[in-house]
Structure 1
Amino acid sequence: MRTGVWDWAAAACILTLCFGCLHVIALKSQLFTRLGGLAYSSETPINYETFYFEQKVDHFGFLEDGTFKQRYLVADKHWKQPGGPILFYTGNEGDITWFCNNTGFVWEIAEELGAMLVFAEHRYYGESLPFGQDSYSDSKHLNYLTSEQALADFAVLLQNLKSTLPGAQRSPVIAVGGSYGGMLSAWFRMKYPNIVAGALASSAPIWQFPGMVPCGDFYRIVTQDFAKSGHNCDANIRKSWRAINNVSSTASGLQWLSDEFSLCSPLKNKIDAVGFKNWLQETWVNLAMVDYPYEANFLQPLPRWPIQVVCKYLGFDAAVSDYQLLHGVSQAAKVYYNYTGSSSCLNTSQTATGSLGILGWTYQACTEMVMPMCTDGVQDMFEPEEWNFQAFSDECNAMFGVRPRADWAGIAYGGKDIAAHSNIIFSNGGLDPWSAGGVTHNISGSLVSILIPDGAHHLDLRYSNDHDPPSVREARALELEYFREWIGQAKEAPRTASAP
C-alpha cells in the first residue's frame, strides 16, 4: 500500500475485480449496511432529540488522548421517572437515524414499559467520525475502528447518561440490536453486565466465524428459501450461471445480456461478465434477507413475499435454451430492481450505498470480523467458491496494509463457550441466511433462542404489520415478557455498599 494519501482507485479496483474473498466481504458489507434503507411505518410518527457526546478515540491505551463527538438520539416521551428503564440501541455500521427509523419494535413498546429510547451511533459511521474527514484517509486513522472500542463507547456514554440525567441513576438498561448491531448487543451484555441488565440480539451471527459453523450454511439457507418458494426455482438459478458463461463468451452475447437485463452500462468483456454474476448473486441474497410478508422498501419497493413473485419467472420444467432461461432470470431480477417499473435501466453498481460505509465494514472484516463463506454448487444454487483464508488475508493486506486475525472474535467474545453469561435473547428468522451463524438453541435458562420460522432478517425488530405471521407476533410478546422480567430483577437487586 502506498504511503501518504489513501489510494482510493486501487481500493476500488480490488473490490471491483476480485471474484474471491473480498467480493464476499463487500457483499456482506452492503447487506449489513443497507439494512438502514428499509422503509418504516408512516403511521407511527417518531420524535427524538439529537445529542453529541465527547468520546475518547482510544479507550484502551494512554498515548492517544484525542476525542471525537459521538452522535446519539434520545426519545423520552414515555419515560417514567425516576428509575424508568432505558432501551439502548447498539448502533450498526451505518447512520444511526436509519436504525432509529426502522426499529419499530422499541418505539411500540416504549409507552408500555415507561422506557426511554437511546440510539447510539457506532464510531466511524454516520456523523461519529473520530478524525473527521481524515477518518478513512489511511490505516493509521482506521486503527480505532473495532467492536471493542465501539462497545466501550456505549458503556461510557451510558454511564455518563445515568450519572448526569436526573432520575436515571437506577434505570435498568436493556440493549437492543439487529444484525451486526445485534452482535454488539449480545457482546455488550457479556462484556459490561454491570451496565446492561439484558440484551435482545436479533439476527445476530455471533458464530459466523472460523471454526464455529460451516462456511457454506449461509448460501444453503438462501437456496432453501428459493427452493420452497417456487417449483424448480433454485434449480434454474443454479443452471443460469453456466448459461451466462455460454452467452457471454461472444460479443453479441454480451450485447444480448445487456439489452435483456436493461443494463445502464453494457457488458463488454469477461471481467464485466464476472461482475454481472456477482451482482445477480447478491440480488438473490438480498431477496432472502428481505423476504417479508408485506410490501417493503429496501432501496426500492418490493411486493409481499418477493421470492414467491421472483420464482414465478423461474419455474421451467423442461430443458430450455440459455436465452429462454436468462430471459426468466432477467424478469426475476427486475422484481427486485424495478418492481414499480419506474427505472429505465438497471445499474449493476446500484447496491453500493456509500464508499465510507462499505469501506468501514470491509476494514472491520479485514481485521477482527472474519466471517468465512463458501459455496459448492450442490447444497446451494451458486457457483462453487472455496473459502481461502490466505488469499483473503493477502487481499486485505493489499488494500489496507493489515492482516486479519481469524481467531480474535472467538477469543474476545467466547465463541461458543458463552454459558457463563445471562439475560440474552437470540432471535433468528428461519428465512434469514444470517441465522446460519446465529444462536438457534437455548444455552441456559437465561440465554434463550427464539426462532421465527416465517421471519427474514430481524423481522421482529420492525414495526408490526397486519400481514405479520403469528410466529413473529409471538416472538415479540415473548421478548417483551423477558424485558419485564429483567427490569424487575434489576430493580430488586440491592445497591452495592460503598467502601469506607
Structure 2
Amino acid sequence: MGLVQLEEQSWKTLRLCRLHQFQRVSKLFTTLKTLDHFNYKPESYATFQQRYVLNFQHWGGANATAPILVYLGAESPLGGDLSGIGFLHDNAAPFKALCVYIEHRYYGKSIPFRSRKEAFKNASTLGYFNSAQAIADYADIIMHIKKKLHAMSSPVIVIGGSYGGMLASWFRLKYPHVALGALASSAPILYFNNITPSGAYYSIVSKDFREASETCYQTIRKSWSEIDKIASKHHGLSTLSKKFKTCEPLTSSSEFKNYLDTMYTGAAQYDRPPSYPVNEVCRGIDGSKKQDILSKIFDGVVAYYGNRTCYLNQPTSDSETDQGWRWQTCSEMVMPIGVGENTMFQPDPFDLDSFIKNCKGYYGVPARPHWITSYYGGQDIKLILQRFGSNIIFSNGLRDPYSSGGVLENLSDSILAVSTVKGSHCLDIQPKRETDPEWLVEQRKTVVKIIKGWMAKYYADLKAFKRQ
C-alpha cells in the first residue's frame, strides 16, 4: 500500500473511531512532505514521510469552529513531546481544543532520503534541513488537517519551547493566515548577530549560583585555576581522574572543565521545582567536610548526579539531537555564546572566525551567522514588530540563561512578554503538578487569559464577517 493510501486509510479509521469513542482518540499519522518548498527544480519535488499526532479527546468539533492547539516539534523525536509538553493537554478541555503534535524534519522518523545515514551523508543532503523548510512543513500539515476535518474556520494557536519557541514566533510572523497566535516559551530569538551581548548566557548562570550561595559561587570561581594547576603537573590528569572518579581517564584539562561547565549550565537552565538543581549543587559544595577546593567541587558533582560508580565522562554516542543540532548551529542557528569577564567561569570569548572555520571543516560549507536576522528580523524588534506583528506571547523564566536572548518587554498591545523571576527553561509549558508554586500557576493563567482574548476577538470578527 502506498504512503498516500496509508494516510487516507488512517483518516477513514479515525472517523470511525471518533463516532464510536466520542472524541477520545489519539492517533499517529504520516504524510508525504515536499523536500524543498522553495524551489521548482525536479529534485525539489522529492518527498518524505513526516509524522504528526492528533488528539481529539476534548475537541468541540469543526461545526463549533473549536480551536486547534499545535505543538511545533524541535530538535528531538516526536515521542518526548507527547509526555513532556503539558500545555496542550492541560488546556485542551477548557478550550475544547484539538491537540496536534508535529515532528520536525530530520528528527525522529521524519527523515528525508529514506534513512538517517543517507540524510546526514553530506551538506548536499543536509541542505534541506533548516528552519524555513520546517515551518513550511508545519503550515502545509496544519492546512491539510483543517481541510480533512472541514475545520477551515477553526483558529490555530502554535506552541513551542526553546528552538521550537523561536519557530512558533517566526511561524506567526511568516504564516499569519494559518495561525491566529503563538506561544513562544523560552525562545532566545535575540541571541543572534550580536543583538544580545555574547556573554549574557554565562552571566545569568553565575547570577543563579551567586544568589543561591556566595560561598558556592566563590568556590566554583576559584576552582578553574586549581584544575589548571593540578593538570599541568606530572600525572596531573590521572590525579584529577581519580579524585573525580571519572568513567574514563581524562585526556585534557579543557575536557574536564567542559564537563563541569555542562553540569553548571544545565543546573541553571533547568533550575526548577521541586529539586532546584543549583541549590543541590551548592548544598553539596557548601556542605562538604573536605577543606580543599576540588574536593568540595566533587561533592557538588555527587549532589547533582547522585551516587554513581563513576562521573562526568560516561561513554556515550551522539544522539540524533546532537547530530541534528550540530548541523543547525553550523548552518543558520549561529548563537554567539561566549564567556565574558566577571562570572564564575574563566573568560572564553566567542570567536566567530574560528567557529565558521570549524563548521566548514566539518561539513564543507561555512555557517551563515547573519541569516536568521535577515530572514526573520530581530534588530530593532520593537520598532518593527509593533507596526505589523501581532498575537505572540514570549514567556520566560528569568533564571534561564537563555532568557537573556528573549523578549522581556511588551512590543505592542498583542505581542506580549510574560516572565517570572524564579522560572526556568520552558517550565511554563511542562505538565501541571499539584506542587507547582503559585508564581508558576499565575504565569500559566496569564498566558491562557491572553489566548482566550485572541480567540474571543477572532470569533467576534468571524461572526461579523459571516453576516456580511
Normalised by the length of structure 1, the TM-score is 0.83
1:57/1:222 Cα in 2 relative to 1: closer, same or farther (>3 Å)? same
After superposition, the C-alpha distances for 1:29-60 in whole angstroms (9 at most, x for unaligned) are xxxxxxxxxxxxxxxxx973111011000000
1:401 aligns with 2:364: yes
The code of the aligned residue for 1:277 comes to K
Give 1:293's aligned residue.
273
Displacement, 1:365?
1.0
How far did 1:147 drift?
0.3
Q: Unaligned 5+ residue runs, structure 1? A: 1-45, 295-303
CA contact (8 A) 2:199 2:349 kept: no
- 1:231 and 1:311 in contact (8 A); partners too: no
Q: How far is 1:383 from its partner?
A: 1.2
**Superposition deviation, residue 169 in structure 1:** 2.0
Inter-partner Cα distance in structure 2 for 1:52 and 1:112 = 28
Aligned sequence identity (%) = 36
Give, in angstroms, the shift of residue 306 of structure 1.
1.8
CA gap of 1:353–1:156, structure 2 versus 1, over 3 A, is farther
What SS does structure 1 have at the residue aligned with 2:214?
Answer: coil
List alignment gaps of at least 5 residues for structure 2: 1-23
> What pairs with 1:101-500 in structure 2 (closer than 5 Å)?
101-133=83-115, 134-166=118-150, 168-267=151-250, 269=251, 272-294=252-274, 304-315=275-286, 324-337=292-305, 339=306, 341=307, 343-349=308-314, 354-376=318-340, 378-415=341-378, 416=381, 417-419=384-386, 420-494=388-462
CA distance in 2, matches of 1:106, 1:354: 30
Q: Which structure carries more relative contact order (alpha carbon 8 Å, separation 6+)?
A: 1
- Taking the aligned partners of 1:349 and 1:360, their CA distance within structure 2 comes to 21
SS in 2 for 1:425: strand
Which letter does structure 2 place at the counterpart of 1:403? P
Asked if structure 2 preserves the Cα contact closer than 8 Å seen for 1:210 and 1:407, the reply is yes
The answer on whether the counterparts of 2:394 and 2:418 sit within 8 Å (CA) in structure 1 is yes
1:58 aligns with 2:42: no
User: 2:60 corresponds to which residue?
Assistant: 80
Counterpart residue identity of residue 103, structure 1: I
Q: How far 1:435 sits from its partner (Å)? A: 0.1
**Cα distance between partner residues in 2 of 1:449 and 1:193:** 19
Distance in 1 (CA, whole Å) between partners of 2:266 and 2:194 is 25
Deviates more, 1:169-178 or 1:248-257: 248-257
Q: Is the 8 A contact 1:370 1:405 kept in 2?
A: yes
Measure, in 1, the Cα distance between the counterparts of 2:320 and 2:464. 44
Aligned partner letter, 1:132: R
Q: Distance in 2 between matches of 1:369 and 1:488?
A: 36
Residue 90 of structure 1 contacts residue 120 of structure 1 at CA under 8 Å; is this kept in 2? yes
Instruction: Quote the offset at 1:430 in angstroms.
Output: 1.3
Distance of 1:383 and 1:132 partners within structure 2: 45
Structure 1: 4+ residue segments shifted above 4 A:
495-498
Q: Do the aligned partners of 1:247 and 1:253 also contact (CA within 8 Å) in 2?
A: yes
Aligned to 2:19: none
Structure number having the greater helix percentage? 2
| Alpha-carbon offset, residue 248 of structure 1 | 1.4
Hey, what's the Cα distance between the residues in 2 that align with 1:472 and 1:47? 30
Matched-pair contact (CA < 8 Å) for 2:188–2:406: yes
TM-score by length of 2: 0.88
Partner amino acid, structure 2, of 1:112: P
Count matched residues. Answer: 431
